[in-house]
Amino acid sequence: MKWSVLTLVGADQPGIVAQVSQVLADADCLLGEASMMQLANNFAIMLRVRYPDTVSLYEVLTPVAQALGLHIHIDEDASDNGEQPEPDVHITVYGADRSGIVAQVSTTLAQAGLNITDLETAVSGSRDKPIYIMTIEGTAGRGVTALQQAILQLSDDIEVHLVEIETLRG
Amino acid sequence: MALEILTYPDERLKELSQEVEYIDDSVKAFIRELEQTRIAGPGAVGIAAPQVNVHQRIVIVDVSNTRKPCDNHGHMIMINPETLEWDGMAMGREGCLSVPDFTGNVIRAEKFKCRYQNPAGEWIEIQPSGFEARAIQHEMDHLDGLLFLDRLVSRRTDLFKRKVYK
């Protein structure tokens, strides 16, 4: 058995997840972590799959991908299924939309030691006054204080709030 | 001695726990073992009796030693805990000794009022908030056969930090 990371992207329509997961199940593939979402009129699947060495994922997926108009990308994944880093900070960012918000924020935070584990963004607001909203979770490699200081350096037109995540174990 | 912790999908975690009628020596001896089990768990701020297959309404919570200090009532042995009131909602990340290697976001009451009996049988009423309120709710859920998995919300469900306007 081996792992691969599978990416499928195409125009959204009902039944993509059902049909893709069915052909994978029929080929004795096991699904791992996944992130699947609508991105405007597209649907994107990012999925870890574990499958027998004798299986060609590409051959398994090509018929369904062609039928649904999905692009396939497969990367072999040598990493084991070990523990994931636990995010310890949650950062929300929002402001009037303009180019460069993600670049500015992520660069500044990366320099202060942030390793992003999850990032989601949305464009909202009215058509003539769009706002950009981003939520980030990650690990503060050089401590939370370094990140808080870095946030102070960011420009005034965006709101950035950092909350420490204390994971409860009980 | 630390007791064996049941892990999901063990069906015994879904059973309802019964009220403790008499807090006798056997209950007190069990509480000592439950506490040893909590301490042996990696970084556990709480534990509930059904997690060790004892279906009695007993939980232990202690958030006085977290990485980020929070308001707390110290070490609490809570027998027959009951929720009296609750208010507000907050999202936080939770894991569980009974669900190894997984953490997820759960919405809980931000603060609430509860009462419980201590090992001397006295009723205590407290109003915990924040992380401590979350921990008590997590443990009390176990008494009703609920795991945090039953309350998971999507990563996309976000409660923006409330801004206080003055």
ipTM field: 0.85
Tokens 């970084």 locate to: B43
Does residue B9 have a cis bond before it (omega within 30 degrees)?
yes
- Asked, for residue A44, whether it belongs to a domain, the answer is yes
- Asked, for residue A82, whether it belongs to a domain, the answer is no
Q: Are A94 and A145 part of one and the same domain?
A: yes
- What the block records as the tokens of A39 is 């991105």
> B23 phi and psi, to 5 degrees?
-90, 80
The verdict on B139 touching A (C-beta cutoff 8 Å) is yes
| Contact check, Cβ <8 Å, B67/A169 | no
DSSP chain A: -EEEEEEEEEE--TTHHHHHHHHHHHTT-EEEEEEEEEETTEEEEEEEEEE-TT--HHHHHHHHHHHHTEEEEEEEE---S-PPPPP-EEEEEEEE--TTHHHHHHHHHHHTTEEEEEEEEEEEE-SSSEEEEEEEEEEETT-HHHHHHHHHTS-TTEEEEEEE---EE-
Q: Are A107 and A129 part of one and the same domain?
A: yes
Mean pLDDT in residue range B45-63: 98
Mean pLDDT in residue range B91-110: 93
Query: CB–CB of B141/B47 below 8 Å?
Result: no
Q: Which of A54, A77, A100 is the last residue of a domain?
A: A77
CATH number at residue A60: 3.30.70.260
Q: Are A16 and A43 part of one and the same domain?
A: yes
- Asked, for residue A169, whether it belongs to a domain, the answer is no
The verdict on A75 touching B (C-beta cutoff 8 Å) is no
**Can you give the pLDDT at residue B161?**
46
Which residues 67-96 of chain B have a CB within 8 Å of chain A? 67-68, 70, 92-96
- Asked, for residue A20, whether it belongs to a domain, the answer is yes
* DSSP three-state, residue B82: strand
- Asked, for residue A170, whether it belongs to a domain, the answer is no
Instruction: For chain B, list the domains and their CATH numbers.
Output: 11-151 (3.90.45.10)
Q: Which of A77, A106, A121 is the last residue of a domain?
A: A77
Interatomic CA distance for residues B160 and B166, integer angstroms: 18
Q: Which of A50, A77, A104 is the last residue of a domain?
A: A77
- Asked, for residue A83, whether it belongs to a domain, the answer is no
Tens digits of per-residue pLDDT, B18-32?
Answer: 999 999 999 999 999
Number of domains chain A contains: 2
Q: Where are the beta strands (DSSP E) in B10-122?
A: 46-48, 58-61, 76-96, 99-117
Interatomic CA distance for residues A58 and B126, integer angstroms: 59
Tens digits of per-residue pLDDT, B120-166?
Answer: 999 999 999 999 999 999 999 999 999 999 999 876 665 554 445 54
Q: Are A93 and A151 part of one and the same domain?
A: yes
Sign of CA dihedral A65, A70, A75, A80: negative
**Can you give the pLDDT at residue B158?**
56
- Asked, for residue A133, whether it belongs to a domain, the answer is yes
- What the block records as the tokens of B9 is 């999908």
The verdict on A86 touching B (C-beta cutoff 8 Å) is yes
Q: Are A95 and A154 part of one and the same domain?
A: yes
* DSSP three-state, residue B64: coil
Which residues of chain A have a CB within 8 Å of the CB of B141? none
Residue A73 burial (C-beta neighbours within 10 Å; 0-12, 13-18, 19+): exposed
Q: Are A19 and A51 part of one and the same domain?
A: yes
Cα distances (Å, whole numbers) of residue B150 to B60, B91, B99, B137, B145: 21, 14, 12, 13, 10
Query: CB–CB of B44/B104 below 8 Å?
Result: no
**Can you give the pLDDT at residue B164?**
53
Which of B10-29 are b and which e, b meaning 16 or more Cβ less than 10 Å from the residue's Cβ?
Answer: eeebeeebeebeebeeebee
Q: Are A63 and A107 part of one and the same domain?
A: no
| Contact check, Cβ <8 Å, B94/A170 | yes
What is the span of the domain harbouring residue A104?
Answer: 89-164
pLDDT per residue as tens, chain A (170 positions) = 999 999 999 999 999 999 999 999 999 999 999 999 999 999 999 999 999 999 999 999 999 999 999 999 999 988 776 667 889 999 999 999 999 999 999 999 999 999 999 999 999 989 999 999 999 999 999 999 999 999 999 988 999 999 999 999 99
Which one, of A81, A80, A68, A64, lies nearest residue A25 by Cα?
A64
**Can you give the pLDDT at residue B156?**
65
- Asked, for residue A84, whether it belongs to a domain, the answer is no
Which one, of B18, B8, B68, lies nearest residue A168 by Cα?
B68
Q: Are A123 and A100 part of one and the same domain?
A: yes
| Contact check, Cβ <8 Å, A168/B93 | yes
The verdict on A138 touching B (C-beta cutoff 8 Å) is no
DSSP B7-33: -TT-GGGGSPPBPP----HHHHHHHHH
**Can you give the pLDDT at residue A81?**
66
